[in-house]
Structure 1
């Protein structure tokens, strides 16, 4: 779909506009805090302190951000093909099955550095196969991807409940979860990274899947902007008619794109399962698949924007917990309201300030928005 505005410089499009949207969101969030009789400035200080005030808080913020990087990338890849994958929650949930199969099978015989790549492949494969069904229905039967992926979230939840209660639960256990993984299937923590700067992380669950998320973000950038497949994905997303005219198979691109998206969502399971809980239990995704939608919107579907957007939402999760504890008048529900305001202004209203900003840039520097070139062509 073509954008109804002239192209702005990249630093404005991907930097200035999202920052303005974010600031406006926090201004409105401050008004909400005022309504409950608390100081917005004090609340903001507690929020930032709770997210970045010490090594342990930073580690928790990055731990949550790891989940959101994976799910944000999953949504972004689908966006580039004009596919709205709302099934990241279910794909991440079912991806935990791939992690469980690998860890339960090999944690007695293989070291973690061999189990980890196998678990990556397992989670990605199961997530991709779960996304394949809605992709096929969209490509071959015309079923809308939004409807089918939402439905598959509930199906994934039901499948995992059945497996954890009747199949994977150890004999004699009442809890709907697998047995605890042995140390060989537990990811090394990354406390050393922060401790090198004199910060203590204590028992924070930050682990090497954070580094994996950064590597995957770079690989997705290479895929989308530096490969033939990425060009085909973006072409199909921008103009399906032009893509078909160029000989690009719509069915093939839809299926491949959704499987890549599902694989990325499935890999999110590595962080909580191998890095923190060391077992598969109910509801370990805890909404990360839906947060990924907001992360992709705020990050403008670009890995360079998704990573800081994921850290922002990690800050809201970790800092929000501290805020609710330090200021009882601000409940967890109000933290959700703040997150919703960020989503509203960074997503649904992300073009609210674009016309004004473009007018300013057209006045100050016509060449920056392409007006000079347009006049030259007209002459």
Structure 2
């Protein structure tokens, strides 16, 4: 019986050899086959993240603000204006005057804030650095308070009011209570921190219980604190006895922050304390359970609520701690730099400068610490720049404002300096079509 096709056993086909497979598919292989796309280098991705990250944006914002400040200095300088009158006759004179004005201003800024090489004694040469640290001490403390509120998703713009209440509390303890050395200082500091914390906690409580926006509440509390302290400075509560001026009595020596480097320098114990406070805030935000809740609420309060976190209590706790930290800046103002009595202007604009410091430091404790030192250098060097070069100190304020402007516009910084955006990685280019060998080429091999 002959085998029919239906009765023949079905055997699996043999696997073709590579050569045969290539030859068999020669006609079909004329179609383009994509080549493997090599993934981007890990080091290149890390480099792009560094140069396009928030730290680099902050640094370049400062550089760009300094450049813009230099342009403003050159434009407003009288000698530059005179030389520009005959620019086309002798253009070199204009550029020389521009260099003289800008370099002289920034050299004076450096000498007044970091190191004055013109002074003969080494201690006198480094005194500008100590002045920078002295100015930076309250800025760092207040910046830490504002930055902590930022991390919880709140905008604490009430630094002025919290500083004034803290200064009033610490000052009242400083000149009213007569306690032993050490204890008096501790009690005065605690009184100021508690006063600032309570004043900040009012905004947190109102937001948690009534939904009131903390920006509006803190702004209004600034006015309340200012007029309240101004009134108390005209009453026996805070006014110096026998004085008609709205000024408090001098602080007792036992409540004054001691000098670190001796009476020749203004740098006091507050700088050591603010270093310890920076470490504490870093630990609180990055290592503690409360800090984890703060950060979770700041990222997404709805998700934090679903996860079981009491968001309302977090708002209250955050503003209590934030107000206490900002109040510490008021304590430093009263017990460290103004020991002969204080007035209603004791805050010296630090409450609003702290917002800039927190923004520049990206609300991170050590970033705020560095930003506070930078702004302390601006404050210390601005006075030297005004005294030696006759440049208005308002120029420094303009530079600080431009820093905030540039930090608030990262796309502008990336466009000016052609930086990559880490949040938008470059898409890999489509692979090139590589034609395979034809039948004749394969046969030739």
Q: Please say whether Structure 1 and Structure 2 have the same fold, judged by a TM-score greater than 0.5.
A: yes
Match of 1:67 in 2: 138
Match of 1:42 in 2: 104
Structural mapping, 1:82-101, within 5 Å: 82-101=153-172
Check the 8 A contact 1:14/1:305 in 2, yes or no: no
Structural mapping, 1:92-241, within 5 Å: 92-106=163-177, 108-111=178-181, 113-166=182-235, 167-192=237-262, 202=264, 204-241=265-302
Q: 1:312 aligns with which of 374, 391, 404?
A: 374
Task: Please give the alpha-carbon distance, in whole angstroms, between the structure 1 residues aligned to 2:140 and 2:421.
Answer: 34
State the SS of the aligned residue for 2:61.
Answer: helix
Structural mapping, 1:3-42, within 5 Å: 9=49, 13-37=53-77, 39-42=101-104
- Is it true that 1:353 corresponds to 2:424 in the alignment? no
Check the 8 A contact 2:49/2:422 in 1, yes or no: no
Q: State the Cα deviation string for residues 249-279 of structure 1 (Å, max 9, x = none).
A: 1110000001100000111122221112213
Task: Please give the alpha-carbon distance, in whole angstroms, between the structure 1 residues aligned to 2:318 and 2:252.
Answer: 35
By how many angstroms is 1:350 displaced? Answer: 3.8
Match of 1:282 in 2: 344
Task: Please give the alpha-carbon distance, in whole angstroms, between the structure 2 residues aligned to 1:332 and 1:267.
Answer: 27
Q: Which runs of 5+ in 2 are unaligned?
A: 1-44, 78-97, 117-124, 429-445
By how many angstroms is 1:280 displaced? Answer: 3.0
By how many angstroms is 1:105 displaced? Answer: 3.6
By how many angstroms is 1:337 displaced? Answer: 1.2
Task: Please give the alpha-carbon distance, in whole angstroms, between the structure 2 residues aligned to 1:301 and 1:145.
Answer: 18
Q: State the Cα deviation string for residues 201-247 of structure 1 (Å, max 9, x = none).
A: 83x42100011011101100000111111011111010011001001
Q: State the Cα deviation string for residues 14-65 of structure 1 (Å, max 9, x = none).
A: 5322111111111111111111135222211111111112333222211110
State the SS of the aligned residue for 1:301.
Answer: coil
Task: Please give the alpha-carbon distance, in whole angstroms, between the structure 1 residues aligned to 2:168 and 2:132.
Answer: 25
By how many angstroms is 1:12 displaced? Answer: 6.1
Check the 8 A contact 1:47/1:322 in 2, yes or no: yes
Task: Please give the alpha-carbon distance, in whole angstroms, between the structure 2 residues aligned to 1:173 and 1:285.
Answer: 22
Task: Please give the alpha-carbon distance, in whole angstroms, between the structure 2 residues aligned to 1:76 and 1:28.
Answer: 27
Match of 2:393 in 1: 332
Match of 2:332 in 1: 271
Q: Over aligned residue pairs, what C-alpha RMSD do you find?
A: 2.3
Task: Please give the alpha-carbon distance, in whole angstroms, between the structure 2 residues aligned to 1:114 and 1:87.
Answer: 30
Answer 1 or 2: which has greater helix percent: 1
Stretch of structure 1 that moved more, 35-44 or 225-234: 35-44
Q: 2:311 aligns with which of 250, 253, 258?
A: 250
Instruction: Provide TM-score, normalisation by structure 1.
Output: 0.86
Task: Please give the alpha-carbon distance, in whole angstroms, between the structure 2 residues aligned to 1:57 and 1:250.
Answer: 45
Task: Please give the alpha-carbon distance, in whole angstroms, between the structure 2 residues aligned to 1:10 and 1:235.
Answer: 25
By how many angstroms is 1:325 displaced? Answer: 1.3
Q: State the Cα deviation string for residues 297-333 of structure 1 (Å, max 9, x = none).
A: 00010111111111111111110111111122x2122
By how many angstroms is 1:10 displaced? Answer: 6.5
Check the 8 A contact 2:184/2:255 in 1, yes or no: yes
Q: How many equivalent pairs are there?
A: 348
Q: Which structure would you say has the larger Rg?
A: 2
Check the 8 A contact 1:209/1:270 in 2, yes or no: no
Match of 2:150 in 1: 79
Instruction: Provide TM-score, normalisation by structure 2.
Output: 0.74
State the SS of the aligned residue for 2:412.
Answer: coil
Task: Please give the alpha-carbon distance, in whole angstroms, between the structure 2 residues aligned to 1:262 and 1:216.
Answer: 14
